């Protein structure tokens, strides 16, 4: 199994960050998304990120469906990396909105991942993906999540700077993303539930 470490920064002085970090930790640990959704999110939750951009006809997912899908993606990451760390780098919050940057740090790749075939990523590889999130709150719960990151840079680092390998992996990734779009159009979850992936 793989290891996921979540380094939290939230505290009494940053209650929205604390709330959001704990919510995401619960999803990563495999807690039922429905329970997390009821406690932490408004029913009309809007979730937009680079993954949902390519699997949803209108570039976002909504409600419990969005949160369950994100939980599955978080856990599927553990099927391609032995070690993953998520860490908040900085955050600011207002009465209604949380702004944060977090790092997704992954090392010791194995298997296939993101269009890369077995052995194409260096065994001693470590990559750092910087994610910027804007999270809005209403009535004490999350109402919108908007996240962006440097997808091309992530591929470039995974390929060790080999542009031919970058292009090959991105082209191969269509076999991962295209069926997910079709599932979402049918009202199905894009990927199967990976179950418990992380140790601990």
**What span, in angstroms and rounded, lies between the C-alpha atoms of 58 and 110?**
33
User: Tens of pLDDT along 74-85?
Assistant: 999 999 999 999
Residue 157, φ and ψ in degrees, nearest 5: -70, -40
3-state helix, strand, coil in the chain (%, to 5): 35, 35, 30
Judge whether residue 1 has pLDDT over 80.
no
Which segments of the chain are extended strands (E)?
Answer: 3-7, 41-48, 61-62, 81-93, 97-109, 126-138, 141-149
Quick one: average pLDDT of 27-41?
94
User: Tens of pLDDT along 99-123?
Assistant: 999 999 999 999 999 999 999 999 9
Quick one: average pLDDT of 2-25?
91
**What span, in angstroms and rounded, lies between the C-alpha atoms of 16 and 198?**
26
Question: pLDDT value at position 183?
Answer: 97
User: Tens of pLDDT along 148-176?
Assistant: 999 999 999 999 999 999 999 999 999 99
Give the number of other Cβ atoms within 10 Å of residue 103's Cβ: 15
Question: pLDDT value at position 9?
Answer: 84
Domains of the chain: 3-109+116-184 (3.10.450.50)
Judge whether residue 145 has pLDDT over 90.
yes
% of the chain residues with pLDDT over 70? 100
Which residues neighbour 151 within 8 Å (Cβ) at sequence distance 6 or greater? 50
Confidence class of residue 200 from pLDDT cuts 50, 70 and 90?
low
**What span, in angstroms and rounded, lies between the C-alpha atoms of 56 and 169?**
21
Q: In what order do the strands lie in the sheet with 41-48?
A: 3-7, 81-93, 97-109, 126-138, 141-149, 41-48, 61-62
Judge whether residue 3 has pLDDT over 70.
yes
Which residue would you say has higher pLDDT here, 6 or 152?
A: 152
User: Tens of pLDDT along 49-60?
Assistant: 999 999 999 999
**What span, in angstroms and rounded, lies between the C-alpha atoms of 61 and 45?**
8
């Amino acid at each position: 199994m793989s290891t996921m470490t979540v380094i939290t920064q939230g505290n009494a002085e940053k209650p929205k960050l604390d709330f959001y970090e704990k919510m995401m930790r619960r999803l990563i640990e495999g807690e039922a998304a429905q329970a997390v959704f009821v406690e932490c999110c408004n029913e009309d939750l809007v979730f937009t990120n680079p993954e949902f951009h390519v699997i949803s006809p209108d570039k976002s997912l909504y409600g419990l469906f969005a949160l369950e899908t994100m939980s599955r993606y978080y856990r599927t990451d553990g099927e391609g990396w032995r070690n993953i760390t998520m860490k908040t780098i900085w955050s600011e919050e207002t009465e209604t909105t949380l702004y944060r940057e977090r790092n997704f740090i992954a090392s010791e790749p194995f298997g296939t991942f993101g269009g890369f075939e077995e052995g194409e990523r260096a065994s001693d590889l470590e990559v750092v993906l910087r994610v910027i999130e804007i999270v809005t709150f209403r009535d004490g719960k999350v109402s919108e999540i908007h996240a962006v990151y440097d997808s091309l840079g992530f591929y470039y680092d995974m390929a060790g700077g080999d542009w031919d390998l970058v292009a090959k992996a991105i082209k191969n990734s269509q076999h991962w993303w295209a069926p997910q779009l079709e599932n979402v159009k049918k009202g199905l979850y894009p990927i199967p539930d990976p179950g418990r992936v992380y140790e601990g």
